[in-house]
Amino acid sequence: MTPQIRSNFRGVRAWVALPEDQNREVLLRTLERLGLSTYARCPDATDFVVGRQDVAFVDADQDFMVLDADIPHIAVIGIEAPSRLARVVRHRASSVLMKPVRATGIFTALFLAFNEHAIRQRELVERANLSRRAEGRRAVVKAILKIMKDDDVSDDEAYRRMRVASMTRRIPIEEFAAQTVAASTSSMRLADTAAHERKSKQP
Amino acid sequence: MGKAPVPLGLMFSQEGPYAAVGITMFRGAQLAVREIAADPAYDFGFAVQTAEPRGRNDGYVAGAQALLAVPGLTHVVGCYTSSSRKEVLPVFEKLDAILWYPSHYEGFETSENIVYTGAAPNQHVVPLTHYILSEGGRRAFMVGSNYIWAWENNRIMREILGRNGAQVLGERYLPIDEVDVDEIIELILRHRPDFIFSTLIGQSAYSFIRCLRRKCSQAGLDQPRDLPVLSCSLAEFELPLIGDACDGHISSSVYFSSVRSEANDRFLAAWGQSYPGVGPTSADAEASYIAVHMLARAIRRAGSAEPGAVLAALNTISFEAPQGLVQIDADNRHCFLWPRIGRSRADGTFEILHSSSKLVRPDPYLVWEPLALSAMAGEKMLRVVS
């Protein structure tokens, strides 16, 4: 499914940690025009509160406060020196804005930051799912072998039974596999659908 | 009894692919220049310098540079396409000058060096979409010239339609100036949408309408009734270029020559006197006319043509324009305008079907626009005019 692209930032709360100068003035004015509420701060401001801001503009030229919040970051860059730029990369800025700040470019920076951040968040969730599955793989293999042996079925059938059983219980197949392996007998754990035929086969 | 001359640049393509609109915009601006010269309320008059970009982006850059090199010239009224505007913007920023941009456009820009006197999307495509939804249009087909004006307007309309349970059956683009439209029309006839949203410009638009009308007749359809064409750009000066098929098309515009007001009567009379035989006024001519009058008012208020002083005076001025009283939102330097929906007539003018009941604030980024039709039900944005 194509992810929804966001293009309206009305009501967004922007943390703007830049020196009080023309750049900040243009940025604040343009953000407010775009419907955001702004919180103008100095680059070393420490009163950032997680949950109260939706996007942060940080000054890449200064020793900015690293914000411990999973919100879009936009690095405002004047000095194109590798040492400064490296920090922008390390702090995973979701987009950048060049100095001198002009009205042109701010909407683009905001647009990219929000949509890029949303993609990253989706990818994080996907990655967590993948690692969970990767971690559970050993248990899945063990459980398949166990069911094949206990129930005298093919690997495909063993996997099918396990999938049906985990779906019935509404748990990930990896978790079900781990339970199956941990249990003394697979028959106690397998899905109700398969339970009857299995029981009939038991001596 | 000399009036102090204030240099003013006019930069319109009166030659090249969109010369027709360039000429009409130039005429609108010139008319206002003459009115300011004759008006004793102004102790200055504009000394006009012109540039002819011939519809080419490099021509606009060269033109802007040449105009802004004239001593004391810091204001230019001009440009038509968005690409020309974006191309010259760095020149104006560098030299701290102001471009008065007199055309409707697709929005998503608020340059500090541009004053926009044409309609923003919440003043053209949004009211048009609300209009067609309220008329029961649910199935759209979109056809446009392949550039930003079409892409962005289609996106905006598609989003509003989607939020209101309507759908887009198809979306096709033609290269600018392409006149081979048969295939698209066949496709549209197979889909049989409730309406066609056209962002075609120039020759493509005229060919499309002519060919659509012909094919509809062959198929036994009454094109204006069965397959109406909607646009945000169709204007009076284009109707003779379409010919016999020019009637029955819906256009969203802040100005039609058929607006009934004292200011428009004056505008029409002055236009007819200055340019006999060229046909009626249009939205582009009016926007250029507004730009020059607004600039004159801002200079008078500021007591100087210096760009900073003029910008600072923007929120204090208003102008009784042919479309109605207009003013500038100093926040984004776009204009408060009067959206209208018109239907073209065989005589080359538009019948006004709906008029906004209030001055509509410009919202170039569509930040404040209620995109769902239900959200604006209570507001009653459009009213029927008799």
pLDDT in tens, A119-156: 999 999 999 999 988 988 999 999 999 999 999 999 99
Residue B22: pLDDT above 90? yes
Nearest beta carbon to residue A107 from set B89, B365, B368: B365
The residues pairing with B139 across neighbouring beta strands, listed in sequence order, are B167
Chain B environment of A9 (Cβ under 8 Å): 367
Mean pLDDT of A57-85: 86
Chain B environment of A35 (Cβ under 8 Å): 365, 367-368
**Residue A44: its pLDDT value, please?**
83
**Residue B384: its pLDDT value, please?**
43
Considering the domain architecture, whether residues B302 and B189 belong to the same structural domain is answered as: no
Q: What is the ipTM of this complex?
A: 0.71
Count up the domains in chain B and report the number.
Answer: 2
Residue pointed to by tokens 């209101």: B164
**Residue A186: its pLDDT value, please?**
44
Mean pLDDT of B56-77: 96
Do B111 and A8 count as a contact with CB atoms less than 8 A apart?
no
Smallest Cα distance from B110 to chain A, Å: 7
Considering the domain architecture, whether residues B128 and B226 belong to the same structural domain is answered as: yes
> Could you tell me the CATH number of the domain that includes residue B148?
3.40.50.2300
Nearest beta carbon to residue B110 from set A8, A30, A35: A30
Considering the domain architecture, whether residues B248 and B366 belong to the same structural domain is answered as: yes
**Residue B372: its pLDDT value, please?**
55
Smallest Cα distance from A178 to chain B, Å: 45
The answer, for A105 touching chain B at a CB cutoff of 8 Å, is: no
d(CA B236, CA B284): 10
**Residue B373: its pLDDT value, please?**
55
For residue B382, what pLDDT band results from cuts at 50, 70 and 90? very low
Give the CA distances from residue A163 to residues A150, A171, A199, B27, B370, in Å, rounded to whole numbers and listed in that order.
Answer: 17, 10, 19, 75, 47
The answer, for B315 touching chain A at a CB cutoff of 8 Å, is: no
Q: What range does the domain containing B378 cover? A: 123-257+340-384
**Residue B376: its pLDDT value, please?**
45
Residue B126: pLDDT above 90? yes
d(CA B343, CA B228): 10
Residues 6+ apart with CB under 8 A from A128: none
Smallest Cα distance from B349 to chain A, Å: 37
Smallest Cα distance from B105 to chain A, Å: 16
Domain assignments of chain A as residue spans, ordered by start: 13-104, 125-201
> Which strands form B75-78's sheet, in the order they lie side by side?
B44-51, B4-11, B75-78, B98-101, B114-116, B334-336, B324-329, B318-321
**Residue B379: its pLDDT value, please?**
43
Nearest beta carbon to residue B108 from set A9, A30, A107: A107
Residue A191: pLDDT above 60? no
| Closest alpha carbon within chain B to A5 | B159
Considering the domain architecture, whether residues B64 and B19 belong to the same structural domain is answered as: yes
CATH pick for A13-104 out of 3.40.190.80, 2.40.37.10, 3.40.50.2300, 3.30.460.90? 3.40.50.2300
Q: How far apart are the first and last CA of chain A?
A: 50
Do B110 and A10 count as a contact with CB atoms less than 8 A apart?
no
**Residue A2: its pLDDT value, please?**
59
Residue A1: pLDDT above 50? no
The residues pairing with B210 across neighbouring beta strands, listed in sequence order, are none
For residue B1, what pLDDT band results from cuts at 50, 70 and 90? low
Nearest to A96 by CA among A35, A27, A32, A164: A27
For residue B260, what pLDDT band results from cuts at 50, 70 and 90? very high
**Residue A68: its pLDDT value, please?**
78
Residues 6+ apart with CB under 8 A from A114: A6, A9, A55, A72, A94
| Closest alpha carbon within chain A to B93 | A102
Considering the domain architecture, whether residues B253 and B372 belong to the same structural domain is answered as: yes
Considering the domain architecture, whether residues B287 and B350 belong to the same structural domain is answered as: no
Smallest Cα distance from B291 to chain A, Å: 22
| Closest alpha carbon within chain B to A12 | B367
A-to-B residue pairs, Cβ atoms closer than 8 angstroms: 29
Residue A195: pLDDT above 70? no
For residue B370, what pLDDT band results from cuts at 50, 70 and 90? low
Mean pLDDT of B81-91: 92
**Residue B378: its pLDDT value, please?**
38
**Residue A23: its pLDDT value, please?**
93
Average pLDDT, chain A: 86
Residue A197: pLDDT above 60? no
Nearest to B136 by CA among B321, B297, B373: B373
Q: Count CB atoms within 10 A of the CB of residue B187.
A: 14
**Main-chain phi, psi angles of B224, to 5 degrees:** -60, -30
| Model pTM score | 0.83
Considering the domain architecture, whether residues B228 and B183 belong to the same structural domain is answered as: yes
Average pLDDT, chain B: 93
Mean pLDDT of B132-139: 96
pLDDT in tens, B289-341: 999 999 999 999 999 999 999 999 999 999 999 999 999 999 899 999 999 99
Poorest-confidence range of A40-44, B256-260, B334-338, B351-355? A40-44
Residue pointed to by tokens 């400064």: A84
Residue of higher predicted confidence among B309 and A181: B309
Mean pLDDT of B226-239: 96
Residue B212: pLDDT above 70? yes
**CB-CB contact of B10 with B76 (8 Å):** yes
Do B93 and A34 count as a contact with CB atoms less than 8 A apart?
no
The answer, for B330 touching chain A at a CB cutoff of 8 Å, is: no
